[in-house]
Amino acid sequence: MGTASTPGSLVLLTRLAREVFGRSTEDVLGIRLKQYMLLRDLADHGGAVPQQTLCGTLHLDPNNLVLMLNEIESAGFAERRRDLDDRRRHIVELTPAGVRALERAEKGMQGVEDEVLSALSASERVELGRLLSLALSDEGQAAADSSADKRQAAAAAGR
């Protein structure tokens, strides 16, 4: 009889993300989860950001981002305008209606977080948030890239 292995952190993180996704309905947030993520990203960038930056931070191709922007712009949550310094670029700006939609969605997400992370204490939730932020930060990504480079070099040397 084999021993049961514990799933890795990324498997557990994926399971957690599925729980969050399943519970983050439009009824709970007031908007769709993808719209919430876009508005949250805009707010994280100070309310105005180049459209191309959103492609990178949301990991979307430009065509899909345009479709999402069309939706939130039609809802009055954001506006696109030409960058005065570079007329080829668009700046996406959060509107007051977008801020209100985001605030409502944040309240809904807090409820989802309370449900999904109910087994964790307040300090454990803070620590989880800190660790996830670190993993997603530039420093965390640089460390991951460095580790991947070292693994590739070791694999190449072993050939």
Asked whether residue 126 falls in the same domain as residue 62, the answer is: no
Structure confidence by residue, pLDDT tens digits, 72-117: 999 999 999 998 888 888 999 999 999 999 999 999 999 999 999 9
Q: Are residues 63 and 124 in the same domain?
A: no
Residue 45, in any domain of the structure: yes
* pLDDT tens digits, 142-159: 555 555 555 565 666 665
**82/132 same-domain check:** no
- Buried-exposed string 92-121: b where 16+ CB fall within 10 A, e elsewhere: bebbeebeebbeebeebbeebbeebbeeee
Residues constituting the chain: 159
Collapse the DSSP code of 94 into the 3-class scheme (helix H, G, I; strand E, B; otherwise coil) and give the result.
Answer: strand
Whether 112 is covered by a domain: the verdict is no
Answer whether residue 121 is part of any domain.
Answer: yes
pLDDT score for 88: 82
Residues 6-44: pLDDT tens digits?
888 999 999 999 999 999 999 999 999 999 999 999 999
Q: Does residue 95 share a domain with residue 37?
A: yes
